[in-house]
Amino acid sequence: MKRVEFAKGDVIFEQGDPSDLCYQIVSGKVEIRIPKASMISAHKEATLESLGFGDIFGEMGIIDDSPRSAAAIAVEPTVCAAYTPDEIVAMLEGNPKEAMEYIRTLIQRLRAANERVSARKG
């Protein structure tokens, strides 16, 4: 694990980037954003999530070895703990309690995505 710092407005990663690190917020705030399908709006990105102290992000691509599915932007000065794929796998294999926290995070994000899709259809 290494400590990384981001200034307000720093792009931590872009959608499509290789998934090389997973982050946990120590202080600050991060938004997870994706491009909007329709560029009619003045805003070209949609914020999926606003994250703060203790929140984890960047884990999906680490777990399934896929590129980033969204961008992460520091919206204020932010400090994170950054973990390599090997560190994440070792933690998940060796610490069931911590592994459950990651699973809960993934399930919450899946439920939120399902709700957004359902709201669009209604």
Beta bridge partners of residue 34, listed in sequence order: 46
Percent of the chain with pLDDT over 70: 92
Task: Please tell me the predicted confidence (pLDDT) of residue 122.
Answer: 58
Structural domain boundaries of the chain?
Answer: 2-121
Task: Please tell me the predicted confidence (pLDDT) of residue 92.
Answer: 85
Do 4 and 79 form a contact (C-beta atoms < 8 A)? Answer: yes
* Residue pointed to by tokens 């993934």: 106
Element (H, E) at 113: helix 96-121
The CATH superfamily label for domain 2-121 reads Jelly Rolls (2.60.120.10)
* Residue pointed to by tokens 């982050």: 23
Best CA proximity match to 14, nearest among 77, 96, 73: 73
pLDDT digits (tens, 9 = 90+) for 15-71: 999 999 999 999 999 999 987 664 455 557 788 889 999 999 999 888 888 999 999
